[in-house]
Structure 1
Amino acid sequence: MTKTRRSAAWYGKLDRDGFIHRSWMKNQGFPDHAFDGRPVIGICNTWSELTPCNSGLRDLAEGVKRGVWEAGGFPVEFPVMSLGETQMKPTAMLFRNLLAMDVEESIRAYGLDAVVLLGGCDKTTPGQLMGAASVDLPAIVVSSGPMLNGKWKGEDIGSGTDVWKFSEAVRAGDMSLQDFMAAESGMSRSKGVCMTMGTASTMASLVEAMGMSLPTNAALPAVDSRRMALAHLTGNRIVEMVDEDLKPSDVMSRAAFENAILANAAVGGSTNAVVHLLAIAGRVGVDLTLKDFELGGEIPLLVNCMPSGSYLMEDFCYAGGMPVVLNELGDHLRPAKTVLGGDIRAYAEGAECHNRDVIRPFDDPLKPAAGLRVLRGNLAPDGAIIKPSAASDALLDHEGTAYVFENIEDMKANIDRDDLPVTPDTILVLKGCGPKGYPGMPEVGNMPIPKKLVQQGVRDMVRVSDARMSGTAYGTVVLHVSPEAQAGGALALVKTGDRIRLSAVEGRLDLLIPEAELATRRAAWAPDPPRYDRGYARMYVDHVLQADKGADLDFLTGKDTRPVTRESH
């Protein structure tokens, strides 16, 4: 016997309410049989011209629709807030939770039986997953896909990673402004997300490793016809998932999150994956903590992609993509269900690597033990993170004198001073850039190297902050220090001249001053006045959790699967 579909409460009634729901939809030309009880599939689209990464999603939506119609479903596309990482101020991260609210309430309010999530740019994928997980209807992801490789002077260049390098070269006098501007035009040659293993491609890779998309979703270029075919097949599959009642909570188990952590290490993924996976887990009800990310500590770096390596996502695709990585992880993977209904290991079956310089064997990696390191100590009692695969080995165990920037404006105003009292051994500290402090926790943790040192050839220093950094960035950068400065964490108490010790191997980050002095400073400390006093930003500051909890809003954790019973008319 066929189970009564959720959409029947909207389109199956033979009364005034059913008349209204069906009649208004028919003004778009849908025939009677579209309302015959077939599953209604929402296509949650973050397409926007202000989000260049997602500018191809309008076309992919048509591919999904073809697949849904073919499988006997009724596809309906709807928009949600789109977060353009490179375009939004003060930071797209401020609005990730707002997107999650938009997705959750849209899915709940409309007569949908399942949803296909079309996203890609850094915050859209986690925001959509958070929202969908909170409603827990069958859901599946189709990502934007990466841009084609950047090209300049006959060489491949990568978004973000080479931008940082070119920018530092201009500051050092090693690159002309004319060349810098010329490289700009060759960087982004097609629709799609960053072609480096930045946050967007990282999240797409982890979505595939968690089994929330079809195989090969992570790496197919945005403009590759195979991505349109993947969208079509996804439309087929989501209709089947309705009959199977296969929900996000069935797929995104604790084992799936552990697989994502392992995969993040193997691909050299973004540090931003930490805060996003923690937030998604909080919606599903999986008890994931910062400590769990130590699971990836001994996993080697297998994918030779910028910023941890040399190649780009297009090369990763042609080498075999995530199925090859999952195959290499082998027995390290936890058994976990996927949107195909089987185990994640099936995604690796028959995977063949076509370029071993791009995807290395597990026993001959690019770097050993490449997973993110979780740091704790009196400077980060609730934790901080560092990405060793993108850091300088010589700086991963380092003690130095702090030079403190009280906020981002202080840093920008003074970083290029010729008389800045810093040496290559100095540890740069940036405050006021956590979830509450900025607000929104921007990607500014990879502070520029002071100009006087850049001109001496210095390209890396230890940097410590409560901020995030772009997944395309590199350097010995300590991030997500919790509690943040604005919340009264020890970071707020650091002064220029203090000694700080970092040990990635020991997992330590310590401020080397007496506890009595810390207590005196704490007693004299007061938070900065709120930067916003109205609207969503005010609500965000009042309710955002710290980075070690995923920076979600405190009242949004968990899910609400109760049916909507009240009519609007």
Structure 2
Amino acid sequence: MTFKPAEWPRKLRSQEWYGGTSRDNIYHRGWLKNQGYPHDLFDGRPVIGILNTWSELTPCNGHLRELAEKVKAGVWEAGGFPVEVPVFSASENTYRPTAMMYRNLAALAVEETMRAQPIDGAVLLVGCDKTTPSLIMGAASTDLPSIVVTGGPMLNGWFRGERVGSGTALWQMSEDIKAGKMTTEDFLEAEQAMSRSSGTCNTMGTASTMASMAEALGMALSGNAAIPGVDARRRVMAQISGRRIVQMVKDDLKPSDIMTKQAFENAIRTNGAIGGSTNAVIHLMAMAGRVGIDLTLDDWDRLGRDVPTIVNLMPSGKYLMEEFFYAGGLPVVLKRLGEAGQLHKDALTVSGETVWDEVKDVRNWNEDVILPVDKALTQQGGIAVLRGNLAPSGAVLKPSAASPALMKHRGRAVVFEDIDDYKAKINDEVLDIDETCVMVLKNCGPKGYPGMAEVGNMGLPPKVLRKGITDMVRISDARMSGTAYGTVVLHTSPEAARGGPLAIVRDGDMIELDVAARRLHLDLTDEEIAARLAEWQGPPEVPVDGYARMFHDHVEGADSGADFDFLKGCRGAAVPKDSH
């Protein structure tokens, strides 16, 4: 892609606040001087907002305060004026009912922060799952020059000589507890090994996936995604990104220049190659909506179907992000895609160069971590989009995390009406279920939960686990943690709470899954489905107000990104009227 930088010098939007001698200019400028800034900092140089999602209640981002200082150093070095701005930080670990419910609120808050304040460009300082998409969504809506800096993954966890992947080990060990294969004391000891340094999950979970998506989209500098959070090179990345954003403002290099349809296609293929989280589907579609790009579930299936999964990381493989970084990180994957003709090589990045210019000379330093294509974990690693009378608007499955023997399966439905019903029944020895059944969970989509929690990877019943069974087909309108695994059908749309066919599935119904054929079928006639839907009554209306009411009234379905219906398209960053 050819990009023509804007002429420099020129008047920047921050000068509407700080430039001149009017009463309003003095009001804005004079108050900021109470922090000791000299007058010549307001002379027209780029004002860079460091939008920091640091919070002590967002453990993945707990080190971002220190990282922000390195970003500031880079901005100062390049002749900019850095201002650190705390923004909404939705923690995956603590937010209830689910952090996903607050992604849109965070994006809205970030958008308005960027629009209402005197900044010319932004460094998006992110890490935890929802912080990356929410800040990119906000930046896309305003279209101010922006660059992503992620906090990086934790170091490897180790327990009794084995790698412990954050999240993935938690799901495995909790199942081992129910199966009687692990003691509670051992579980508590393993807890100490799971999170032994600052940073995000060290598996290819949602945080690492979204860091990779930011880099594949061109919104982060090459190599950003995999550097461990405590590695000195993470701080170097922060500093050079601070330098780079100043030049981006001078060139007027905006998200809309970078986040093109080609960039999103690169990201989708990258997600298949890394065995990325199914959550990337929802987040990338929401981002695309903010820049006015038409991205659909069909794009995901078309682009990912023939992409081999070559990154051998948990939950699909055996290694962790630390090894991925040492092997060469995402640039190696992008180079491999380019060599296979599966990369738009001329897609622009925040560096001002094309993605191919950034990666064409990199090397793979460990072919057991980033595999040759002929040794791929799966030859079709992209997200599989399923359709049929059970999911007219689509559902998704991650083949690289599923059991091959279950990719074509027909089984009897065991239905849980909601997550509370699941919790009440799953450990009951009288539950009529075996490993051939299909577990069905309803009312856990965007409206139904509300917020669409990561409960789709339902734990198996103890009596099945005791047989040594570790996987069953599971279907829901929920999401699944990127660190989780299994033959799990997710995001079934329309969701049950909207009256989708999932709502009328009953115990004993037969369900057919055929991933190769992309088919998800409820073995009922069209007439029987229509009759049940005619009788269906939605879940009882729970009185809510405040943000929960806004979410309920305006959230779209998972098949279009679960964004708010009134936030589509770029609305720009016009200077607000001064009230003084």
Place the TM-score, normalised by the shorter chain, in its bin.
Answer: over 0.9
Candidates 429, 434, 437, aligned match of 2:440: 429
Deviation per CA, 1:527-559: give whole Å up to 9, x if none.
113334201011101000000010000001112
Encode CA deviations 1:442-491: one digit per residue, 9 max, x unaligned: 00000011111011111100000000000000000000000000001000
User: What letter matches 1:412 in structure 2?
Assistant: K
| Residue 315 of structure 2 corresponds to residue 324 of structure 1 | no
Q: Secondary structure in 2 aligned to 1:27? A: helix
2:198 is the alignment partner of 1:191: yes
The superposition leaves residues 508-542 of structure 1 with CA deviations (integer Å, 9 ceiling, x where unpaired) of 10111111111111111121133342010111010
| Structure-2 change in CA distance of 1:443 and 1:523 (3 Å) | same
Give the match for residue 228 of structure 2. Answer: 221
User: 1:310 aligns to what?
Assistant: 318
Partner of 1:402: 413
Stretch moving more, 81-90 or 428-437: 81-90
What is the Cα deviation at residue 371 of structure 1?
A: 0.9
**Correspondence for 2:169 among 162, 171, 177:** 162
Give 1:297's match in structure 2, choosing from 292, 305, 309. Answer: 305
The answer to whether residue 119 in structure 2 is matched with residue 108 in structure 1 is: no
Report sequence identity in percent.
Answer: 59
Supply the AA of the counterpart residue of 1:418.
E
SS in 1 for 2:489: strand
Instruction: Show the counterpart of 2:343.
Output: 333
Does 1:542 find its partner at 2:553?
yes
SS in 2 for 1:467: coil
Question: Residues of 1 paired with 2:540 and 2:427: CA distance?
Answer: 28
Alignment of 1:64-79 (within 5 A): 64-79=71-86
Map of 1:488 onto structure 2: 499
Deviations 1:143-178 (A, max 9, x none): 010001111112210011111111111110111111
Partner of 1:243: 250
Offset of residue 562 of structure 1? 5.2
Match of residue 270 from structure 1? 277
Give SS of 1:481's match: strand
2:468 corresponding residue in structure 1: 457
Moved more, 360-369 or 372-381: 360-369
Does residue 1:56 correspond to 2:67, yes or no?
A: no
User: Alpha-carbon deviation of 1:347?
Assistant: 2.2
Aligned counterparts of 2:570 and 2:546: Cα–Cα separation in 1: 24
- SS of corresponding position for 1:458: coil
The structural deviation recorded for 1:364 is: 3.4
One-letter amino acid matched to 1:315: E
Q: CA deviation at 1:564?
A: 2.6
Given that residues 328 and 361 in structure 1 are in contact (C-alpha distance below 8 angstroms), is that contact kept between their aligned partners in structure 2? no
* 1:444 matched to 2:455: yes
Q: Deviations over 1:412-468 (max 9, x none)?
A: 011011011011110000000000000000000000111110111111000000000
Q: CA deviation at 1:367?
A: 2.0
CA distance in structure 2 between the aligned counterparts of 1:190 and 1:135, rounded to whole angstroms: 35
Moved more, 532-541 or 386-395: 532-541
Aligned counterparts of 2:407 and 2:56: Cα–Cα separation in 1: 41
- Contact (CA 8 Å) 1:326, 1:347: kept in 2 or not? no
2:176 maps to a residue whose letter is: A
Q: Name the TM-score, length of structure 2 as normaliser.
A: 0.97
- Cα distance between partner residues in 1 of 2:36 and 2:573: 32
Between 1:493-502 and 1:345-354, the stretch displaced more is: 345-354
Residue by residue, what CA displacement relative to the aligned partner does 1:212-249 show, whole Å, maximum 9, x if unpaired? 10111100000001010100000110000011110000
Give the distance between the partners of 1:297 and 1:127, measured in 2 at CA. Answer: 27
Query: Equivalent residue of 1:456, what SS?
Result: coil
User: Is the alpha carbon distance of 1:490 and 1:100 closer, same or farther for their aligned partners in structure 2, counting shifts above 3 Å?
Assistant: same
Output one character per residue of 1:88-145: Cα deviation in whole Å (capped at 9) or x when no partner. 1110000000000110000000011000000110000000000110000000000010
CA distance in 1, matches of 2:49, 2:476: 40
CA contact (8 A) 2:457 2:486 kept: yes
Give the match's secondary structure for 2:305.
Answer: helix
| 2:25 is the alignment partner of 1:18 | yes
What corresponds to 2:513 in structure 1?
Answer: 502
In 2, Cα distance between equivalents of 1:513 and 1:363? 41
2:567 aligned with 1:567: no
Q: 1:255 offset after TM fit, Å?
A: 0.3
Among 471, 478, 492, which residue is 1:467 paired with? 478
Report the CA distance between 1:349 and its aligned residue.
2.6
Q: Structure 1 residues 497, 354: closer, same or farther in 2, change over 3 A?
A: same
Unmatched runs of 5 consecutive residues or more in structure 2: 1-7
Residue by residue over 1:26-77, the C-alpha shift from the partner in whole angstroms, topping out at 9 and shown as x without a partner, is 1111111111110000000000000000111111110110000000000001
CA distance in 1, matches of 2:60, 2:26: 40
Name the amino acid aligned to 1:307: P
Partner of 2:3: none
- Quote the residue 2:388 is aligned against: 377
3-state SS in 1 of match to 2:67: helix
Matched pairs, number: 569
The answer to whether the 8 Å contact 1:414/1:420 transfers is: yes
Aligned to 1:141: 148
Give the Cα–Cα distance (whole angstroms) in 2 for the partners of residues 498 and 203 of structure 1.
37
Q: Distance in 2 between matches of 1:362 and 1:515?
A: 43
Q: Is 1:329–1:362's contact at 8 Å kept on the other side of the alignment?
A: no
Distance 1:532 1:65, change over 3 A: farther
